[in-house]
Structure 1
Amino acid sequence: MLLFRLILGLAFLATTLCAAAPTGGHLADLHGGKGVQCTDCHGKGRKVKVDDSETVPNSNCVNCHGDLKAVGENSKGHINPHISHLGKINCTVCHAGHQASQVYCANCHGFDLKIPAGGPHAPQANPLPTAPALPKGKIQTERTEVLVVGGGAAGMTAAITAHDAGAKVILLEKQPLTGGNSMLAAGGMNAAETRVQAMKGVKDTKELMFQDTAKGGKGLGDPALVHILADSSAASLDWLTGIGADMSDLGRMGGASQDRCHRPKGGSAVGAHIAAVLKENAAKRGLDVRVNSQVVKILKDGKGRITGVLVKGRHRGLYRINAKVLVLATGGFSANAELVAHYQPRMKGMITSNQPGATGDGVALGEAVGGELVQMKEIQIHPSVASGSRILITEAVRGNGAILVNREGKRFFNEIGTRDAVSQAVLHQTGESAFMVFDEGVRRSLKQIDGYFHLDLVKEGESPEALAKAIEVPSDAFRATLDRYNQAVDAKQDGDFKRPDLPRALRTAKFYAIEVAPGIHYTMGGLKIDADTRVIAKDGKPIPGLYAAGEVTGGIHGANRLGGNSISETITFGRIAGARATAFAKSR
């Protein structure tokens, strides 16, 4: 029996429908007390029907209460969940009519938010898909040419590309919202030989990006795939900007030898912006995007060709979609604690920066139909997760000049080294954490830093001595550390830790610090693919009709992914998967 079948957990539970609604305390009861009828929310008809994307209830929520922007403008409190990086999402992501409402933000954030008719927050259960047999008798069946599973950047890119190439497309997402881990990406998108670099006078090459990526992965990355990542990066950036993305800011992430990390103007977080652009483009094209829709089995014929999937919808239940070709873009498994611990026992119990849907569904589904898995033990921990939370402090803060200081008030490592190396250095410090220290100059250089203040993650001081007191480190040692670092910046040479870029001195009050510790961040292993993104079987041959892109795949990043390469991978390989899948579908 396959490994993933041994780590399934509980079966996916469908939401209780109106007829079985319990009494007391739910939104249905609150609305009913004000004279609102079932048909006012669900629409008229002999039977109350709700599609898996809960289109009618959400439309009626907006008709009555206004959209997220309107509700957000009227919301009070320091944290406003209606205006966030999640963008335009369904009301039912958090609000439920016939069960306790849950704040989706609490899956990643530690703050306590009240919600009408809400219950105590419980971590979201996201078991891997079970593998039911086809039921006897009739089962509802649909048809499409290209079926994409996963609504993050890779899946959305593949779906848009396939649609624009003339294919009929359906995209399925098991979570109640699209975006995946891509929505959480902060630092930027690596690309070489770009127009932005040329405008800013940065001399970079695709070959240099290839070398940096290969070196960062300790030589374990498939050279053919790494070349595709580097060689196609500028074209992928152009594609993104061509559909409305702003990628005009430029910085550097760990392991890069040149400034090649592109992000929105002012240094805003890249993931939320790209997710919004992709969602908007999917909506403009009228793409059939379905949330709350978990694929539980991939179907194939007697010759091993993919023929479709079984889907378990939140309301619709089990149904079948026949497809000429399938693209898996379901992400990695960093949020699957059991699976992470299986491959890396030393990481057992370590916190993750991932959203709750990153449980390895696509890897399990692909392996079940014969797909080969590669480099599954290569799991990345990120050095800067805000201590005591799941909130990632982007590497771009260090890239723009922040330093890492231990509890003795001293620097201890090159802040923009590769993630694995910096993480290990942090874990060797007292308390297995460190302080990311920066000043007002760094804060002004990167817009997304303001969000960390909003989330109360930052300590501050009017002087280095005041900040040292706030974070409880020796004042004299801390001041000496800042002075020595600033001297290195002035001399343009870091004699202590050989940091290759020294963008700015830390002299401008106020002074700030965020305590950070390593957390599970990315899984480099996954399904083996070839240059056309075809999933490769254990016999070395492509599985007919099965493609994959994004973190669900393995072999690109080797032992360690460089910051900025994930978004680059999702767009580049998502575009390839969408184009190749369409060509395959048209040939059948």
Structure 2
Amino acid sequence: MKQKMRVLIIGLLAIFLIAGCSSGNKAKDSGTFEGSGSGKHGDIKVEVAIKEGKIDKINVLEQDENKVLAEPVYTELQETIIAENSADVDVISGSSATSEGYINAVKDAVKKSGITLVAVSKEKKEKQTVKTDQTFDVVIVGSGGAGFSAAIEAAEAGKKVAIVEKMPAVGGNTLLSGGEMNAPGNWVQKNLGIKGDSVETYYEDTMKGGDNVGDPKMVRIMAENALDSAEWLRDEIKVEFLDDQLFQFGGHSYKRALIPVGHTGAEPVSKLKAKADELKIPIFLNMKANELIQDDKGKVTGIKAQDKDDTQITFHATDAVILTTGGFGSNIDMRKKYNSEYDERYLSTDSEGTTGDGIVMAQEVGAALTNMESIQTYPIANPKTGMISLLADTRFDGAILVNQEGNRFVEELERRDVISKAILAQTGKYCYQIWNDDIDAISKTKEAHGAEYDELIKEELLVKADTIEEAAAFFDIDVDTLKETIKKVNEYAKSGDDKDFHHRAGLVSLENGPYYIEKATPSVHHTMGGLVINEKTEVLDEKGNPIPGLYAAGELTGVIQGTNRLGGNAITDIITFGRIAGKTAGGL
């Protein structure tokens, strides 16, 4: 009996030990862990749940990335990492910095866990079932502001519409922009007591700003429809604009640029997409259009496209194809082809997808091009990345530009091309922008662009200093000259007369610190040339005749901005002519 009892006790102990070991093993290869990585706009913090050596779930705890560009990262990339049980994956095109931050955050969490992830077989995921042959009334290529505006107007006219977008996320350059929109006589001007602005003044500013190269008829259409386009965004699309602030971009006679909440294109793009979703307009992402299809009479009847698996998809368009693919600022070879100045030396503020696809496709079916040599740089961009500095929008409210020697060298509200050329003529081909809290209180850019502020501080491209001496020392600017420059600015601000450069809005005193000094250089920003279109947005051939079935709107057109686009005119252009294209197609 004692022997049986002894055997039973030993057996129970063995079971408990085995159970204990099993439980211990599970504990060692399971758990929830936090990690962080550096994204485009600051740290991305994630929480990674691991079960039995496999990544089960990834939650984003903190991030300040562009919400539209980050969406495919936090969905597609998460799915890929979980499926492969590894963070050694490729980045999402167009969102590489955010992707790298997210991937590194996951790797950090896994490293902290001490768990060795189990190997999994990399089975090919089933391809999404997208029909290889589809038919719509209207097919729109490109999902920026022009594409969405065209799609919404065509859909509301009763047409069956599709949007085809080659990038993994919608928005294009509209998303990356500040989102500001010129509209003479707008409601915010009335709120602020700004009088005297008119359609005619705006028309004249735009024509003069482009050296009178823009088609007067097309520029007038934009000027006359600008306010209606802005009110459409506000009332129909529900875009929120600040009601107590406007920008006066270089070359404009008045403060007339409406500013969206958040000071970026994320507000209009997210609202336009929400409206497209409400209208049930399908958006085909990761779908690159390569070729326009024509019938035997020359009418454009659709497009051929490729998805990310290189499967060819044909989109038939019963009524119209509308091209809204943007310019070619990110295509170095194309830039050099039309203007050799803008070669590899220049970075670009543009989306990776801004490679001139629509221009090339249209040209292949006989479309006429114009003004292709006119390429614009944005004067105040990040010297390391080429990205536009939205933080530096303080320039529109009184910030000054100085060179390495500490001297001003151009009027800060001149045209972009004039300022850019002036910067490139300075020591090192860069400049410094200087402002203080008094100016920032007007612009509110530090509040709106906190992530960029932190990024520039980290990269030592921006310094906050209590004194001019401290700020000058950080960038090795001649302190005596800089102090003399600031002294003159303060005098001109008090008198209202900028004797050096005749600042059109009047300078603002820099007497009080703290001071912000940002290093910047020009970066390719906008291509003014492109397709020739008429007032209906029909694409014209070399003889000036419309190519049946083909329409275009936005930066890929070349008849509106002339040699130089004034700030705030891009959104006005793309919304106005995008809507016209959609209405034209909607009436076919």
Q: Which interval holds the TM-score relative to the shorter structure?
A: 0.7 to 0.9
Matches within 5 A, 1:95-106: 95=78, 96-97=80-81, 100-102=89-91
More displaced stretch, 445-454 vs 208-217: 445-454
Q: Which residue of 2 aligns with 1:328?
A: 323
1:86 aligns with 2:54: no
- Is the contact made by 1:187 and 1:396 (CA closer than 8 Å) also made in structure 2? no
Instruction: Give me the whole-angstrom Cα distance separating, in 1, the residues matched to 2:323 and 2:554.
Output: 9
Q: Which residue of 2 aligns with 1:563?
A: 567
Larger gyration radius, structure 1 or structure 2: 2
Residue 81 (structure 1) shift: 5.6
Instruction: Give me the whole-angstrom Cα distance separating, in 1, the residues matched to 2:250 and 2:505.
Output: 10
More displaced stretch, 322-331 vs 504-513: 504-513
Instruction: Give me the whole-angstrom Cα distance separating, in 1, the residues matched to 2:98 and 2:503.
Output: 32
- Is the contact made by 1:143 and 1:321 (CA closer than 8 Å) also made in structure 2? yes
Residue 345 (structure 1) shift: 1.1
More displaced stretch, 316-325 vs 470-479: 316-325
Residue 351 (structure 1) shift: 0.9
SS in 1 for 2:509: coil
1:213 aligns with 2:206: yes
Task: Report Cα offsets for 1:206-252 as digits up to 9, x if no partner.
Answer: 10011000001001000011101111100000001012112233120
Residue 499 (structure 1) shift: 1.1
Q: TM-score, normalised by structure 1?
A: 0.80
Which residue type is aligned with residue 281 of structure 1? Answer: K
- Is the contact made by 2:68 and 2:270 (CA closer than 8 Å) also made in structure 1? no
1:464 aligns with 2:429: no
Task: Report Cα offsets for 1:451-484 as digits up to 9, x if no partner.
Answer: 4312134212101111111121111111111111
Instruction: Give me the whole-angstrom Cα distance separating, in 2, the residues matched to 1:210 and 1:286.
Output: 36
Q: Which residue of 2 aligns with 1:23?
A: none
Q: Which residue of 1 aligns with 2:239?
A: 245
Residue 168 (structure 1) shift: 0.8
- Is the contact made by 1:108 and 1:353 (CA closer than 8 Å) also made in structure 2? no
Residue 199 (structure 1) shift: 2.1
Task: Report Cα offsets for 1:403-456 as digits up to 9, x if no partner.
Answer: 101011111110110011000100110000000111112223333333431213
1:489–1:110 Cα change, 3 Å? farther
Give the length in aligned residue pairs.
Answer: 497
- Is the contact made by 1:308 and 1:322 (CA closer than 8 Å) also made in structure 2? yes
1:445–1:372 Cα change, 3 Å? same
Matches within 5 A, 1:59-458: 64-65=57-58, 71=60, 74-75=61-62, 80=63, 84=67, 86=69, 88-89=71-72, 91-92=74-75, 94-95=77-78, 96-97=80-81, 100-102=89-91, 107=96, 114=104, 116=106, 140-186=132-178, 188-203=180-195, 204-242=197-235, 243-247=237-241, 248=243, 249-265=245-261, 268-315=262-309, 317-324=311-318, 325-349=320-344, 350-394=346-390, 396-449=393-446, 450-455=450-455, 456=457, 457-458=461-462
Which residue type is aligned with residue 229 of structure 1? Answer: M
Task: Report Cα offsets for 1:96-118 as digits up to 9, x if no partner.
Answer: 45672326576579997725479
Instruction: Give me the whole-angstrom Cα distance separating, in 2, the residues matched to 1:32 and 1:216.
Output: 61
Matches within 5 A, 1:11-90: 34=53, 64-65=57-58, 71=60, 74-75=61-62, 80=63, 84=67, 86=69, 88-89=71-72
- Is the contact made by 1:216 and 1:255 (CA closer than 8 Å) also made in structure 2? yes
SS in 1 for 2:565: coil
1:483 aligns with 2:487: yes
More displaced stretch, 249-258 vs 187-196: 187-196
SS in 2 for 1:367: helix
1:107–1:447 Cα change, 3 Å? farther
More displaced stretch, 307-316 vs 198-207: 307-316
- Is the contact made by 1:311 and 1:319 (CA closer than 8 Å) also made in structure 2? yes
- Is the contact made by 1:436 and 1:513 (CA closer than 8 Å) also made in structure 2? yes
Match for residue 478 of structure 2 among 474, 481, 496: 474
Instruction: Give me the whole-angstrom Cα distance separating, in 2, the residues matched to 1:179 and 1:311.
Output: 19
Residue 82 (structure 1) shift: 5.1
Residue 387 (structure 1) shift: 1.6
SS in 2 for 1:346: coil
Instruction: Give me the whole-angstrom Cα distance separating, in 1, the residues matched to 2:540 and 2:532.
Output: 6
Task: Report Cα offsets for 1:349-372 as digits up to 9, x if no partner.
Answer: 111111100000100111111111
- Is the contact made by 1:398 and 1:415 (CA closer than 8 Å) also made in structure 2? yes
Percent same amino acid among aligned pairs? 32
Which residue type is aligned with residue 522 of structure 2? Answer: P
Instruction: Give me the whole-angstrom Cα distance separating, in 2, the residues matched to 1:553 and 1:105.
Output: 23
- Is the contact made by 2:359 and 2:556 (CA closer than 8 Å) also made in structure 1? yes
More displaced stretch, 460-469 vs 564-573: 460-469
Residue 264 (structure 1) shift: 2.6
1:237–1:112 Cα change, 3 Å? same
Which residue type is aligned with residue 391 of structure 1? Answer: M
Q: Which residue of 1 aligns with 2:41?
A: none
SS in 1 for 2:587: helix
Task: Report Cα offsets for 1:297-322 as digits up to 9, x if no partner.
Answer: 11011111111111211247112111
- Is the contact made by 1:109 and 1:390 (CA closer than 8 Å) also made in structure 2? no
Which residue type is aligned with residue 368 of structure 1? Answer: E
1:93–1:155 Cα change, 3 Å? farther
Task: Report Cα offsets for 1:539-581 as digits up to 9, x if no partner.
Answer: 2110111110100111101100000000111111111111101
Which structure 1 segments of 5+ residues have no match? 1-29, 37-60, 119-138
SS in 1 for 2:69: coil
Q: TM-score, normalised by structure 2?
A: 0.80
RMSD (Å), alpha carbons: 2.4
Give the ranges of 4+ consecutive aligned residues of structure 1 lying more than 6 Å apart after TM superposition.
30-33, 108-113
- Is the contact made by 2:151 and 2:582 (CA closer than 8 Å) also made in structure 1? yes
Matches within 5 A, 1:567-586: 567-584=571-588
Instruction: Give me the whole-angstrom Cα distance separating, in 1, the residues matched to 2:384 and 2:145.
Output: 28
Instruction: Give me the whole-angstrom Cα distance separating, in 2, the residues matched to 1:573 and 1:483.
Output: 46
Bigger fraction of residues in strand = 2
Instruction: Give me the whole-angstrom Cα distance separating, in 1, the residues matched to 2:76 and 2:438.
Output: 38
More displaced stretch, 330-339 vs 315-324: 315-324
- Is the contact made by 1:462 and 1:511 (CA closer than 8 Å) also made in structure 2? yes
